[in-house]
Amino acid sequence: MHGPTSETDRYREIVARYRGLIERAIGGVESIGQPDVSPDGSRVAVVLEILDGLEGRGHTELHVLALDGSRRWQVTGAGVDARDPRWTRGGAALTFIADIGTRHRPAPFLLEMGDDGPSGEPRRLASPPGFPELGRPSPDGTRLLLVVAGEHAEVADGLGSGSVGELAAQAAADDGDAAATRPAWAPAVETTGGEDEWRTTWLLDVATGATRQVSPDGMNTWEADWLGPDAAVVVASDSPAEDAWYEAGLARLDLATATATPLYRGEWQLQFAAGSPDGRRLAVIEGVASDRYFTAGEVVVMEADGSGARPLDTGAVDVHAFRWLEDGRLVAAGTEGMESVAGVVGIDGSWRETWRSAAALGGGVSSIAALGPLGDIVLPLDGPDEPVRLVAIEHGAARTVLGTRGAVHDELAAAAGMARVVEWTARDGTSIGGLLYLPAGVGPFPAILWVHGGPVSAADQSFPDARLAVLVEAGYAVLRPNPRGSTGRGRAFAAAVVGDMGGEDAHDLLAGVQWLIAEGIADPARIAVAGVSYGGYMAALLPTLSDRFAAAIVASPLTDMFSAYYASSLTVFVRDYVGGTPATDPSRYLDRSPVFAGERLRTPSLITNGLRDRATPMGQAVELFRAIREQGTEAELAIYPTEGHGFSDVATRTDWVGRMVTWLDRHLGTG
């Protein structure tokens, strides 16, 4: 029996290689997001995610760039996190959320802008108790709509899980703030009363600093935007629980009376609601979504009173982001297959595609900004041959406004090579696509089926990261599939996983393995399955359905759907994606839970989880480890004490990659 993977020379070798790649990227831009173009089209405000070192999560900076490339102003720097920049309608000022002077305790700020750039320092505005997450300046710039999260409000699982206050306290303690360090004995408390878990909407008077809550008690407002000068549109639920978002609807807030009027409740999830500039209409993305903030689908438009709701025609594009134009049209960007697409959509049903690219929409949470009245846009792109950059799409052509390429990117590209877009046929005849990365040499290779999270997400043609580069450099072919449930192929394809997670989607993935073997790419005796979140679930489930896998990498998984129904912060997700409840459909819950596979648990598995994860709680990983161990199968369990859902700390990711490659080498015969 082997000892822990971290005690091997191979682990130390891989950690050194991965760390070396990260070291060469320190101080560089890891991600670009949340662009907003000034009303005159001359400048863009943007948030840059900066890598600080070999430990920690980095920080985010707010920059303002002249779109002609002539100037760049850094608004915030190291030791500060900034987000959500928005120009006032006249362009004389910029609002944003940041923790300047109060680390990890953000507040709204306003920065006056002149012809020569910022006029003075950002001015801290008044803020209600809690954590401001979103700010929207009024049409006249005198007021600010704020969405404020309570201390115990849940963080979306796609952003790390946990609670807002918990993550802030942890980050402050990591920064050396002794006052933020909790006693070791202090409990984490949760009550059925849900105190301080709510997200509420507030109105801030910029001149006087007066604040007033404008959402009624008992309403949780996930997001808000102006709907004319006297009202707001909110995505809202009657519970603050994270899984309540799945059933949230649209409501209109009367800002004078702080009363709410229901407007629209869709068949699927709603996100990114925005009122038109004249306040007469609103639009929202409605789509099948498994994670808050990561919604793609149709743009639904309606009158300000909620009447006349109708989806707009955007061809075959799953829309990820949109912005209103002054004339009542919208610009939108999204995905079709494995391409990114942008276009102009009219409320009359017209659709005009303006741009298409193999590059992925960058920024994590997709966002775009309108550039002028004709449908030009600014957005971050992350391409197969160029790392994340900010581009202006003008008359259908992309022009780089801010690039990030450095020497480390040349090294990453050389290690990972160029991805091939591939297709295979599922057992019911459905065409399934994916991306294939091949190492140097001649196949068949040891291969990894790397399943994306979600399930409603997609593998895209983004630039290879250090994890992928290390895997391919180590000699592994990597297939990143997009089974049913993935975005980019319309609502019906995404919805096929709802109520059937672990069903036909699993067989789509197994068909991909068979394709790898038939094509002579994969050595049939040396195939592994790996993934995080939904990918971790599949890495646990697929080996119970097929004997093709010699090893599994199971990260942040759900493994026992019975206990997950109550233990996860996403009960509604479990209900909807598994189908039914443990009480009404116990046989389905049993069938879709790999921990109950008994003697079919025969695949050596490396299992990892974050201690603070509420979406896929640590117990799910522990159950799988013990179930595999009970069968006499080799397994290793690693719990990271400061992580939530997934791995955000550089040190954690470094250790995980070292363990992963060492485990694969051991069980696929390459080490």
* Domain 408-668, second-level architecture: 3-Layer(aba) Sandwich (3.40)
At 175 the pLDDT is 61
Q: Partners of 275 in the beta sheet?
A: 282
Mean pLDDT calculated for residue range 13-28 = 95
At 611 the pLDDT is 95
SS3 (DSSP) at 642? coil
pTM of the model: 0.95
Q: Given CA atoms 583, 645, 491, 223 in this order, what sign does their dihedral have? A: positive
Which residue bears the tokens 């990597």? 478
Convert the pLDDT of each residue in 293-329 to its tens digit. 999 999 999 999 999 999 999 999 999 999 999 889 9
At 370 the pLDDT is 96
> What percentage of the chain exceeds 90 in pLDDT?
88
At 139 the pLDDT is 87
470 sits in which H/E element = helix 466-473
At 630 the pLDDT is 97
Mean pLDDT calculated for residue range 111-132 = 93
Q: Partners of 251 in the beta sheet?
A: 234, 262
CA-to-CA distance for 397 and 388, rounded, in angstroms? 17
Q: Given CA atoms 455, 457, 460, 465 in this order, what sign does their dihedral have? A: negative
Nearest to 616 by CA among 635, 585, 597, 643: 643
At 181 the pLDDT is 66
CA-to-CA distance for 87 and 650, rounded, in angstroms? 33
Convert the pLDDT of each residue in 434-453 to its tens digit. 999 999 999 899 999 999 99
pLDDT of residue 164 exceeding 90 = no
pLDDT of residue 58 exceeding 70 = yes
Convert the pLDDT of each residue in 480-493 to its tens digit. 999 999 999 999 99
* Prior bond of 641 cis (ω within 30°): no
pLDDT of residue 205 exceeding 70 = yes
SS3 (DSSP) at 224? strand
pLDDT of residue 125 exceeding 60 = yes
**156-160, 320-324, 519-523, 555-559: segment of lowest average pLDDT:** 156-160
Which phi and psi angles does 269 have, rounded to 5°? Answer: -85, 155
Q: Is 43 exposed, middle or buried (0-12, 13-18, 19+ CB in 10 A)?
A: buried
DSSP state of 163: B
pLDDT of residue 90 exceeding 90 = no
Q: Dihedral through CA 84, CA 87, CA 88, CA 94, nearest 10?
A: 80
pLDDT of residue 174 exceeding 70 = no
What six digits make up the tokens of 368? 């775009």
Q: Given CA atoms 336, 338, 339, 342 in this order, what sign does their dihedral have? A: positive
Mean pLDDT calculated for residue range 266-279 = 96
pLDDT of residue 55 exceeding 70 = yes
Max intra-chain CA distance, the chain: 71
Pairing status of strand 360-361 against strand 351-357? unpaired
Q: Regarding the domain with residue range 125-178+195-311, which homologous superfamily does it belong to in the CATH classification?
A: TolB, C-terminal domain (2.120.10.30)
Which of the four pLDDT bands, split at 50, 70 and 90, describes residue 135?
very high
Beta-carbon contacts of residue 445 (< 8 Å; ≥ 6 apart): 438, 439, 475, 476, 477, 521, 522, 523, 526
Q: Dihedral through CA 575, CA 579, CA 580, CA 582, nearest 10?
A: -80
Mean pLDDT of the chain: 94
pLDDT of residue 179 exceeding 60 = no
CA-to-CA distance for 333 and 367, rounded, in angstroms? 8
Amino acid (one-letter) located at 640: Y
Q: 3-state secondary structure string, 175-194?
A: CCCHHHCCCCCCCCCCCCCC
* Residue pair 32/380 in contact by the 8 Å Cβ criterion: yes
CA angle 333, 338, 339 (to 5 degrees): 40
Beta-carbon contacts of residue 629 (< 8 Å; ≥ 6 apart): 635
At 1 the pLDDT is 54
At 170 the pLDDT is 67
What six digits make up the tokens of 637? 């369990």
Q: Partners of 402 in the beta sheet?
A: 390
Buried b (16+ CB within 10 A) or exposed e, 121-150: ebeebbbbebbbbbbbbbbebebbbbbbbb
At 171 the pLDDT is 64
At 440 the pLDDT is 94
Nearest to 211 by CA among 103, 132, 120, 123: 132
SS3 (DSSP) at 608? strand
Which of the four pLDDT bands, split at 50, 70 and 90, describes residue 159?
confident
Which residue bears the tokens 């409603």? 456
* Residue pair 443/522 in contact by the 8 Å Cβ criterion: yes
CA-to-CA distance for 42 and 69, rounded, in angstroms? 10
Q: Partners of 554 in the beta sheet?
A: 531, 607
The region, left, alpha or beta by phi > 0 then psi within -120 to 50, assigned to residue 417 is left
pLDDT of residue 202 exceeding 80 = yes
> What percentage of the chain exceeds 70 in pLDDT?
97
Alpha helices in 81-231 (DSSP H): 164-174
- In order of 205, 248, 262, 292, 648, the CA distances from 242 in angstroms are 30, 11, 20, 9, 20
CA-to-CA distance for 52 and 45, rounded, in angstroms? 22
Convert the pLDDT of each residue in 425-435 to its tens digit. 999 999 999 99
Half-sphere exposure of 195 (CA within 13 A, CB side): 3
DSSP state of 316: B
